[in-house]
Amino acid sequence: MLLYCFSGILGQNYTHYKKPKLVIGIVVDQMRYDYLPRFYQKFSEGGFKRLLRGGFEFRNHHFNYIPTYTGPGHASIFTGTTPQYHGIIANNWYDKFNNQTVYCVSDTIVQPLGTNSPNEKMSPHRLIGTTFADSNRLDTQFKGKTIGISIKDRGAILPAGHAANRAYWFRGKEEGQWVSSNYYGPQLPKWVTKYNSKKPADPYLKIWTTLLPIEQYTESGADNTPYEQGFIGKETPTFPYNLKELMATNQGYDIIKQSPFGNSLVTDFAIKAIYNEELGQDNHTDVLTISYSSTDYVGHNFGVNSKEIQDTYLRLDLELEKLLQVLDKKVGIDQYTIFLTADHGAVQVPQFLKDHKIPAYYFNQKKFKADINTFLLSKFSSNGLVKNISNHQLFFDYKKIKSLGLSALEISTALQQYMSQQAHIQHVFTRSQLTQNSLTSKIGKLVQNGFHQRFSGDIFYVLTPATITYPTKGSTHGSPQVYDTHVPLLFFGKGIAVGTSYEETKVVDIAPTVCALLSIAQPNASSGKVLFKALKN
């Protein structure tokens, strides 16, 4: 009798629960957590501030694996698991089975749509496991739509998952078009073809100057510093930037990606998708994934302390306000749910840190490779025992090792001892350690969570804090250090509580939380937990 009553109450709760009509997953590429408090006073009332004041914020949110790159980041957010299980171990990685470097969403068997470029053959086929968007498609008997949008192909494809209706990304260069592949259907929808025919990128080839008077940008460094790359064809990395004049020397329409107007391009296309795909217009929950990538391009180019990065975030704030207003009008207030996070953070430019007496270094990858080969030659009297060094991993040539009668374990041990003594290398892990042990150190766990037994290498090394392999100008990312792992996490809208938490949360917790909100099955490789504090009731 008690069981019957409980079942009746539970059934009643499910019956009366109204799901959001649309879930929007927003990823801001290379957004450090501290950008929110740092630029807060300059934000408008309707963008970031609206999400913060009307939703739930997790202030201690981290990635729990390395490398902290765009491809693994987007895959982990939407699958609810780490590269150890979903298989996207980097943006590009060495395929040891075919002796070639592969890209995380490249697919030779599909054809591009909206362009003749062979470089746009893309699909999610390398992604192991499902996303929460896939779970929603299954739960709604494929009546709920999924659309993925980003300037970057990987930022559109990986979040949308395997069963997505569409994924769209921006083809710059000489075209300036929104493109896709026939993985999602034989041709582009008519509305996209019509949109492209109007040359949608042209209005964004304009002069980039600061949104506010530049003297108000007190939260960032000087406008002209030696830590910024800038654009080819302009002597100094200083405002203003005439994008139309500079496009010829900066890969054509790709220059828009490296400005805040790339985010505007994404917002405008996303709004077109909301209307033309009729997202959120019935009782079957739809999913829209949006990845804002221009923040990453600007960060790499100008650094995290630049005036350009501050201006990009102030302008992104207005894009969010614009998007929210459309959602209010088209879908309805309290009829949609948003989460906003990032795929990784970024480091302060090491040279900037060094100039302010803070330890920071540049790691010479070319010299490191030469030193490894010299060591192996002296120790084992043979060259070529390591076939590839990339993504801070060493891949062995097992055929050669076997032919010489050597032991891979002995080589691993020797390399670990040698590499551990090299300047600016903090940790070294062997394949044996990563496959046989549950590592207890913080960084060890992050390396292990990013290690895929089939795809990954044989030796992993981690550099000391603020040590990078990158030019001396601009910022980068990829490490297990907090500046790369600590990112924002905001929930807002239907079913979301209002509040703040300082508990440590992980990237893999987002997808399970969305699935709990929708009362659907979690992605099939999910390893995170539900962040119940963010959910009402």
Count, residues in the chain: 537
Q: Is 333 exposed, middle or buried (0-12, 13-18, 19+ CB in 10 A)?
A: exposed
* Look-up of token digits 């963008």: 47
Residue 204 DSSP code: G
Contact 30, 40 (CB under 8 A): no
The residue with tokens 């405002």 is 239
Residue 265 backbone phi and psi in degrees, to 5? -60, -45
Gap between the Cα atoms of 341 and 492, Å rounded: 12
Bridge partners, residue 487, by sequence: 61
Q: Residue 307 CA to chain centroid, in angstroms?
A: 23
Does residue 276 come out as left (phi exceeding 0), alpha (psi in the -120 to 50 range) or beta? alpha
Give the end-to-end CA distance of the chain in Å, rounded to a whole number.
Answer: 26
Q: Which residues contact 71 (CB under 8 A, 6 or more apart)?
A: 88, 90, 91, 104, 105, 154, 158
What CA–CA distance (Å, rounded) separates 35 from 344?
Answer: 13
3-state helix, strand, coil in the chain (%, to 5): 40, 20, 40
Cα(303)–Cα(81) distance, integer angstroms:
30
The span from the CA of 158 to the CA of 103, in Å, is: 12
Q: Which residue has the tokens 């992980």?
A: 506
> Residue 434 corresponds to which amino acid?
L
Distance CA 73, CA 478 (A): 10
Give the three-state DSSP class for 320.
helix
Asked if residue 413 lies in contact with residue 420, where contact means CB atoms within 8 angstroms, the answer is: no
Strands 22-28 and 499-501: unpaired
Inter-residue contact 295 to 304 (CB < 8 Å): no
d(CA 107, CA 162): 13
Query: Among the options 70, 82, 130, 146, which is catalytic?
Result: 70
Amino acid at 135: S
Secondary structure (3-state) at 217: coil
70 is catalytic: yes
Distance CA 146, CA 383 (A): 50
Q: Give the residue numbers annotated as catalytic, written as ranges.
A: 70
